[in-house]
Every structure is written in C-alpha cells, then in structure tokens.
Chains A and B, each alone.
Chain A
C-alpha cells in the first residue's frame, strides 16, 4: 500500500530548519527587498513545456522587507520557532500572530521550491516514541 507523506506535529514543524534552495540566484535590492531569480527547468519535460508554452528562461520573485529578513534566516541554522521569536522581537508581534503568519509564509516558499525543511532526527525520534505510546493506549 502506498504511504502518504508523514504529517509533522506542531513541535516537529517548529523545530524544522528551513534551508534556501542553492540553485537560485539572489540579489539584495537597494530598498531592502530581495530579488530571487528562478531558472527554468532544463530537463526534457522543461524543454518540451518551454517549447509548447513559451516559458521564459527564468522568472523573478521579489520578497519585501519582512520576507527578506525571514529569507536570510532560512540558512539551515535557525529553526522555525527561532525565526518566529525573532519576528516577535523585531516587530512587536504576538507569538501566535508571528507563528501563524510565518508558517503560512514558509509554506508558500516551500510550495514554490524556494526553500526546503530539515527536521532534526531527535525531534522525529521523540515524536515517534510518544506516538507509539499514544497508539498503545
């Protein structure tokens, strides 16, 4: 039977480390925004689609000031929880407000393949042992 993607618990999601996609080229603009250039895929599927639909060789995405700050922290060393705490401190947000906005923002970046998430093994192992206990009850 095919298994779906494992769902992360809230704790696992907060301890995940967002990492920027290394194939992207990034440029910091004068006004503090960040411009990300996304190259077109160059495999046979990409070439076929590009031929049929005139897909440009690259496209650009601009992140505004707050988005740029979050982007900078997606370095594989800051967890989602730490990024949320930084937003609370920088912008005087409530913790819930920061987490809600941040998780949605990171989800969108992830969907566009601009970042990926690394979940530390200890967090997964902690969770799987408590999940096993919960199943046993």
Chain B
C-alpha cells in the first residue's frame, strides 16, 4: 500500500465510500471466524468463547451454546512437533476416574489420525491425532508449524455423544489458516468480518452483548472498528448524526468531531472528521499549514465512517485516529461485511 507523500492533499471521496468489494460470504452452513491471523470456517453455532495473548503467542477457543468446540494455541517459538503432540496425548491417556465395566483408564489415543494432509497444506509440517474416552468425550486435532508466518499451531476440535470428531476436524482444519493474504488479516467474530492491514496490531477489544469494539495500532496511528446492535432502538428517537454526536463522539472526547451525511456501502451513513483538542498539537498543525510548499490543507487528526445497516439492525463505525491514512480506513470499510 503506497503511503501518501507529505505534501499530498488528504483526499476523501465520500461518494465512493466503501464501494470496494466486501469479503465473500462464507459457504452455506458455515461461519467465518478470524482472530490474530488464525482464520477458518466453522459451523454457525460456534463462536468466540475465550481469547488470550497476541499475534506472537496466544490462545482462542470457539464454543457452541453448550460446549467448547475448537481450541487453538499458537506461538512464534520453534518447537518439536512430535514432543508437543506426545506430551498432550500422554496426559490424556493417563488413567483417571472409574468407568463402569472398564475400571480406571484414560482416553484412547490415536497418533495415526490423518486430519489434514501435508499436500493440502504445503507450507506446513502437520501431525494429526485423535482421542476418545469412555464417557463420550472425543477430540481430533493437529500440530503444525508454518514456513510462511513462522508460527507453530496446536488445534483441536471436540466432539460429544455420537458425533464423529475426526470428520468434523477434517472439515474445520481444511479451511484453517494461520496467516493473512496480501498483507491483511481477517478479523471475524459474532457475525462481523473485516480485513485489517497486518501492520496494525490489536491493542484492545470490548466484546459485549450488543457492542463489539476492536482497537488497532500501527506506530502512532490508531484504527477502531465498532459495532452496535439493536440499531432500530438506538435510532428510534434520534437521527444517526444525533446518535453519533451524543454517543460515539462523546466517548472520544479528545477530538472535536464533525459529521456529514453520506452513503456508505449503500446505507445511510456519516463521514466523520475530528480535530484534536490538544493546544500544542493544534498549534503545530496550524504552523505546518502556513508552509509555502504545502499545496493543500493538513490532514484531519481523526476520520471515519459510520453507517446504519437495517438488514442486520446494527450500526458500524470504522475510524482512524491520530493522523489516519485515508486508504486504510476506506479499505477496512470496503472489506467489512455488514449483512
């Protein structure tokens, strides 16, 4: 992505906001998930249940409404794949509580389980496994290391009752990937999907019923992607602009916000710009504007897009803070699938 030169005007094309192609929809009967570069397709009932760590080392778990379903751990540390698998399977095979008719025994493990072939994942070395205990719990998974991103991944799908864990694991891990494409990572959770440049690292998140927020940072620049549910109720007695001025803008009071009506992704939306309230920054910016070789005005300190999607009954916000790059905000808006 080419960075604009210092003298280049910060150009906005409000009419073209979000006109680029959004992410392709997931195949029928599957839901896309993406977190810290780990992405794939899972059954639609599975959703993010636990997260931890960062891009270099972390953990995520997807649960259905009752049980944990997919666990993934990753690390940038080089490890012995055989040893990692062996340590886990040995712990599973250790005898535990009594099972009627079977006595004290641990899980039955299978080191020959073929979950994903090396041919299907040419950039990875893959070791599969599966296990089943006497209580109807089962699992199937793999350990791999990736030559592209240098990460080692341990993943496992859990099955319950009559489910075939190996078959389910094969489908899930066939789609699983541990790095982005074209310099962008997929962030997809609870029905919201967007692509964010890899250089922007996640620095914070709010994952609440009715509100999602992901905060990213690249050097001194910040990017925020937010989603509010129950939009029809939020906008029952106020316009989107009024809502933005009282709610979204209010939570980022370090900027003076201005919002203009526009169309974003075919929906009623706002183009927002914010100026810093900090006196020193405002003075420096004003002085820069006087320089003779600057052909155009300085870039805003914050800029973004807000839109109301009636199809999903949600409000979306994508904004760049602290001298954002227009292209980045537009790319994220374009990639975001809102319904």
Write out, one digit per residue, whether chain B residues 306-339 have a CB within 8 A of any chain A CB (1) or not (0).
Answer: 0000011110000000000000000000000000
Q: A91 CA to B230 CA in the complex, in Å?
A: 6
Q: Which residues of B contact A137 (CB under 8 A)?
A: 97-100, 135
Find out whether the CB atom of A95 lies under 8 angstroms from the CB atom of B209.
no
Nearest Cβ distance between residue B172 and chain A, in whole angstroms?
19
Partner of B210, one of A10, A65, A95, A101: A101
Known A97-B190, A97-B210, A99-B65; contact A91-B97, beta-carbon cutoff 8 A: no
Known A96-B47, A137-B99; contact A91-B229, beta-carbon cutoff 8 A: yes
Nearest Cβ distance between residue B268 and chain A, in whole angstroms?
17
CB contact list, A99-137 vs B, under 8 A: 99-101, 136-137
User: Does B250 sit at the interface, judged by CB under 8 A?
Assistant: no
User: Does A61 sit at the interface, judged by CB under 8 A?
Assistant: no
Q: A51 CA to B272 CA in the complex, in Å?
A: 56
Find out whether the CB atom of A97 lies under 8 angstroms from the CB atom of B209.
yes
Q: Which residues of B contact A96 (CB under 8 A)?
A: 47, 65, 190, 209
Q: Which residues of B contact A100 (CB under 8 A)?
A: 209
CB contact list, A69-107 vs B, under 8 A: 91-97, 99-101
Q: Which residues of B contact A55 (CB under 8 A)?
A: none
User: Does A66 sit at the interface, judged by CB under 8 A?
Assistant: yes
Q: Which residues of A contact B47 (CB under 8 A)?
A: 94, 96
Interface residues of B, count at CB 8 A: 22
Nearest residue (CB) in B for A99 is B65
User: Does B232 sit at the interface, judged by CB under 8 A?
Assistant: yes
User: Does B251 sit at the interface, judged by CB under 8 A?
Assistant: no
Q: Which residues of A contact B100 (CB under 8 A)?
A: 136-137
Find out whether the CB atom of B229 lies under 8 angstroms from the CB atom of A97.
yes
Find out whether the CB atom of A101 lies under 8 angstroms from the CB atom of B209.
yes
Q: Which residues of B contact A92 (CB under 8 A)?
A: 311-314
Known A94-B47, A136-B100, A137-B97; contact A66-B229, beta-carbon cutoff 8 A: no
Write out, one digit per residue, whether chain B residues 198-240 have a CB within 8 A of any chain A CB (1) or not (0).
Answer: 0000000000011000000000000000000110110010000
Find out whether the CB atom of B230 lies under 8 angstroms from the CB atom of A66.
yes
Q: Which residues of B contact A136 (CB under 8 A)?
A: 100
Find out whether the CB atom of B65 lies under 8 angstroms from the CB atom of A91.
no
Nearest Cβ distance between residue A70 and chain B, in whole angstroms?
13
Write out, one digit per residue, whether chain B residues 65-89 have a CB within 8 A of any chain A CB (1) or not (0).
Answer: 1100000000000000000000000
Given A93-B229, A96-B47, 7 more A-B residue pairs with CB atoms under 8 Å apart are: A10-B66, A93-B230, A94-B47, A97-B190, A97-B229, A101-B209, A137-B100
Residues of chain A touching chain B, judged by Cβ–Cβ distance below 8 Å, are: 10, 65-66, 91-97, 99-101, 136-137
